[in-house]
């Protein structure tokens, strides 16, 4: 290899290395900037803290051990996050209601989507905790069968007010 080729290879390698370092520096500064700090969602490791967490309100019972509202279909979980006005949008009619009216035992949405964990809506559907992203099997029960003392979901998730009785109820 000639001297000129070695020089060109060294210059090319230096340019590529410099571009890579600048690229890494740019993304490091972008991620650590204060402007996007509000977009980072902290993750709670439930297994490590479950013995330290106390149920603070009556409505906390509607959150399962994965931090998801009970009875919500896994594909609709993101729809249950409040918007910028702290409101929930009904799944079918897109009517807006305050997020505080979610699971308040009063049916505000025509489709019953604001009461996934309660028996307030006659046409509501409760989706069991055990759900699969593949296949057509969707494990759900009518919401009027939630906490009725009869285990309808094979995982017992529809009887969350009777957690100690689930093994007996499913037999």
Average pLDDT, the chain: 79
Task: Give the three-class secondary structure for 125.
Answer: strand
Do 18 and 81 reside in the same domain of the chain?
no
pLDDT of amino acid 133: 57
Q: Is residue 69 part of a domain?
A: yes
Do 15 and 92 reside in the same domain of the chain?
no
Please say if the pLDDT value at position 6 is more than 80.
Answer: yes
Do 103 and 154 reside in the same domain of the chain?
yes
Do 81 and 160 reside in the same domain of the chain?
yes
141 neighbors 126 (Cβ within 8 angstroms): yes
Please say if the pLDDT value at position 169 is more than 50.
Answer: no
Do 153 and 113 reside in the same domain of the chain?
yes
Q: Is residue 37 part of a domain?
A: no
What average pLDDT score do residues 107-113 get? 92
The CA distance from 161 to 171, in Å, is 18
Taking only the tens place, the pLDDT of each residue in 70-107 is: 888 888 888 988 888 999 999 999 999 998 899 899 99
Q: Is residue 68 part of a domain?
A: yes
Kindly report the number of other CB atoms within 10 A of residue 69's CB atom: 17
Do 165 and 100 reside in the same domain of the chain?
yes
Do 8 and 78 reside in the same domain of the chain?
no
Q: Is residue 56 part of a domain?
A: no
What average pLDDT score do residues 133-158 get? 80
Number of domains present in the structure of the chain: 2
Domain encompassing residue 23? 3-32
Kindly report the number of other CB atoms within 10 A of residue 156's CB atom: 19
Do 77 and 148 reside in the same domain of the chain?
yes
129 neighbors 64 (Cβ within 8 angstroms): yes
Q: Is residue 53 part of a domain?
A: no
For residue 152, give the nearest of 129, 136, 134, 121 by alpha carbon.
129
Task: Give the three-class secondary structure for 63.
Answer: strand
pLDDT of amino acid 63: 77
Q: Is residue 85 part of a domain?
A: yes
Q: Is residue 46 part of a domain?
A: no
Beta-strand pair 96-98/87-89: antiparallel
pLDDT of amino acid 19: 94
Do 101 and 23 reside in the same domain of the chain?
no
Do 15 and 75 reside in the same domain of the chain?
no
Do 28 and 77 reside in the same domain of the chain?
no
The CA distance from 28 to 77, in Å, is 30
User: Is this structure's pTM higher than 0.85?
Assistant: no
Do 70 and 114 reside in the same domain of the chain?
yes
């Amino acid at each position: 290899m000639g001297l000129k080729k070695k020089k060109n290879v060294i210059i090319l390698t230096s340019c590529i290395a410099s571009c890579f370092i600048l690229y890494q520096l740019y993304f490091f500064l972008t991620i650590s900037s204060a402007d996007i700090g509000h977009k980072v969602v902290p993750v709670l490791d439930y297994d490590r803290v479950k013995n330290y967490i106390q149920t603070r309100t009556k409505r906390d019972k509607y959150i399962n051990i994965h931090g998801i509202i009970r009875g919500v279909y896994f594909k609709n979980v993101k729809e249950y996050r409040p918007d910028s006005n702290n409101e929930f949008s009904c799944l079918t009619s897109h009517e807006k209601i305050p997020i505080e009216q979610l699971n308040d035992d009063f049916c505000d949405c025509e489709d019953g989507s604001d009461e996934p964990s309660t028996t307030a809506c006659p046409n509501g559907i409760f989706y069991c905790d055990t759900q699969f992203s593949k296949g057509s099997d969707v494990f759900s029960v009518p919401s009027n069968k939630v906490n009725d003392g009869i285990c309808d979901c094979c995982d017992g998730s529809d009887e969350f007010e009777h957690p100690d009785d689930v093994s007996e109820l499913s037999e």
